[in-house]
């Protein structure tokens, strides 16, 4: 059975990604920083004989990440899919000029550096044919001009796209594909109830990348199950 680790999967898009992967036959490691919430999510997904394992891990804390690697390595020898989904939005309606250092550091540590360090630290469990999927956002796209929306969050997602491209170069020789994806504007606690997409729709590109996208395609950005340069 192939195993997938999904960070930030105790709710929202991450939970739905974990659900769809479990339904397609993956053993799924449900991860988040709140132990109670993680265990409740894993218990819920574990119904109907799905194989689900809880993992409490804070992607903004390198010590927590390394502890997560240790705990995971005790249960599995190979990780087929790593979905870096954990993310925070702290500055939705704030001006860049009024962003506090605490908001900047917390957002970048979670949204951009978290996926980088999670991937590096879990590398011993990743091997040829493994896939790393970074959940990014159209807010980080700069080719057609970036809006003023949530400036620090947007910057963090631009940085995540760069992390994706650089990891793809670094891991290409190991046969590991690294891609980013945009879920769109999704109805979650982060996206709000006015968002145009369901959680199911938001999760589908990540789930498509996990088993179906060509392993030779790496360093790309995906939207609506279509790979484009990031």
CATH pick for 3-229 out of 3.40.50.720, 3.20.20.70, 3.30.450.20, 3.40.50.410: 3.40.50.720
How many degrees, rounded to 5, is the angle at CA 186 between CA 184 and CA 188? 150
- Has residue 185 got a pLDDT over 60? no
Query: If you write DSSP's letter for every residue of 16-43 in order, what string do you get?
Result: HHHHHHHHTT-EEEEEES-HHHHHHHHH
Rounded Cα gap, residues 123 and 130, in angstroms? 10
Burial of 133: CB neighbours in 10 Å, binned 0-12, 13-18, 19+:
buried
Tell me which residue of 25, 12, 81 sits closest to 52, measured CA to CA. 25
pLDDT digits 0-9 by tens, 118-138: 999 999 999 999 999 999 987
Burial of 173: CB neighbours in 10 Å, binned 0-12, 13-18, 19+:
exposed
pLDDT at 198: 65
Edge-to-edge strands, sheet with 177-182: 52-56, 27-32, 3-6, 81-84, 131-135, 177-182, 220-223, 226-229
* Residue 5 C-beta-side C-alpha neighbours within 13 Å: 32
* Residue 18 C-beta-side C-alpha neighbours within 13 Å: 32
End-to-end CA gap in the chain: 31
pTM, 2 dp: 0.92
- Has residue 187 got a pLDDT over 50? no
Decide: 225 and 205 in contact? Cβ < 8 Å: yes
pLDDT digits 0-9 by tens, 63-90: 999 999 999 999 999 999 999 999 999 9
Residue 134: beta bridge partners?
84, 180
pLDDT at 94: 83
Rg over CA atoms, the chain: 16
Q: Where are the domains of the chain?
A: 3-229
Residue 122's H or E segment, with its range, is: none
Taking residues 196-209, report their average pLDDT. Answer: 77
pLDDT digits 0-9 by tens, 15-55: 999 999 999 999 999 999 999 999 999 999 988 768 999 99
Higher pLDDT, 214 or 150: 150
pLDDT at 223: 76
Q: How far is CA 78 from CA 23, 33, 57, 126, 178, in A?
A: 20, 23, 19, 6, 17
131 SS3 class: strand
């Amino acid at each position: 059975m192939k195993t997938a680790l999904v960070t930030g999967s105790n709710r929202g898009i991450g939970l739905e990604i974990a659900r769809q992967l479990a339904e397609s036959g993956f053993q799924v490691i449900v991860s988040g920083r709140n132990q109670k919430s993680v265990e409740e999510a894993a218990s819920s997904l574990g119904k109907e004989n799905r194989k689900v394992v809880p993992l409490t891990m804070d992607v903004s804390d390198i010590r927590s990440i390394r502890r997560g690697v240790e705990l995971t390595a005790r249960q599995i020898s190979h990780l087929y899919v790593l979905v870096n989904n954990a993310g925070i939005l702290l500055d939705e309606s704030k001006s860049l000029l009024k962003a506090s250092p605490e908001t900047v550091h917390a957002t970048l540590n979670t949204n951009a550096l978290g996926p980088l360090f999670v991937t590096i630290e879990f590398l011993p469990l990743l091997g040829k044919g493994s896939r790393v999927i970074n959940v990014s956002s159209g807010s980080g796209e700069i080719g057609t001009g970036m809006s003023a929306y949530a400036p620090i969050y947007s910057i963090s997602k631009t940085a995540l796209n760069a992390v994706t491209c650089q990891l793809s170069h670094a891991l290409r020789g190991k046969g590991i594909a690294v891609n980013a994806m945009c879920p769109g504007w999704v109805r979650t606690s982060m996206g709000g109830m006015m968002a145009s997409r369901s959680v199911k729709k938001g999760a589908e590109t990540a789930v498509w990348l996990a088993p179906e996208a060509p392993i030779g395609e790496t360093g790309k950005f995906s939207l609506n199950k279509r790979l484009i340069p990031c």
